[in-house]
Amino acid sequence: MGITVFSPAKINLFLAVTGRRADGFHDLVSVAAPLEFGDELTAEDGGQGAERGGRFSLTCDAAGVPLDGSNLILQAAEKFAAETGWGGAVRFTLTKRIPLGAGLGGGSSNAVAALRALDRLSGGRAGEGRLAAMAAQLGSDCALFLRGAPVVMRGRGERVEELPAGAVARLRGRRVLVFKPGFGIATPWAYARMVARGGDYLPAAEAERRLAAWLGGGAPAEELLFNNMEPAAFEKHLALPVLLARLRSDFGLAPRLSGSGSACFALLREDSPVGALTAAIRAAWGPAAHVIVTRLG
């Protein structure tokens, strides 16, 4: 019997990269929120998979998704087996909706979905605490997907803290437009460009001050939005700032880049003209652009 787990995308509403660490990673302060849009991962008994040379296998309906050990789903499965001693074999099937190279956390979310599916198949051998530890080891964005709500991320992203209830109420359920051009941005490139530019970091004390000011007040989500990875991406990909400037001037929105990009997002009013917005995005970026209307989870 198969188990299907929803694997949501995320956006970074607030992203302050504060500096480079000695281990090569970067420290950050971020508010990230899952979306009601995402992938689906099905896990089924692999039967005699182990005897055929592989305990875990993966198929996907989208081109370009790696199906070998470089995929975080299979890495998560191997880690789960090693940490818990579970000996089952599993066939994973990924229904892919989150575009690649978007800064929407698709790979990290898929890894957490795999951990959750395996925990259910194994009868709960890990539990939330061990799942969180495994998620943090798999990738910087993984831990946030265990919460299912907007969170604050610190360190390289592995330190996750729940937001106060009042802050969550200002975020959860907000309508959001997510849009991505036909090209992606590789996260390692984006961070390397930040290092080369040198002046884009925001001091940690200032990042915490800005976050605390929003958390302690009653300002809407639009007042929280920030991303200091934008300058590096915008320097190379001029199509991004040109369109965002138009959406600000013509529609009164406050669009931002999500994570390292290339996906962008804009919080919408309930009466925002989605048709006109979609037309403007496709006119600027062509038919290859992804346009999604969803809500913050």
Active site residues: 10, 141
Biggest distance spanned by C-alpha atoms of the chain: 61
Amino acid at 242: V
**290-295/26-45 β-pairing:** unpaired
Tell me how far apart the alpha carbons of residues 40 and 31 are, in angstroms, rounded to a whole number.
24
Q: Which residue has the tokens 């975020």?
A: 171
State the sign of the Cα–Cα–Cα–Cα dihedral 153, 108, 115, 26: negative
| Residue 229 near residue 14, CB atoms below 8 Å | no
Report whether the peptide linkage leading into residue 262 is cis, meaning its omega lies within 30 degrees of zero.
yes
Could you tell me where the DSSP H helices lie in 198-286?
A: 204-216, 230-236, 239-251, 274-285
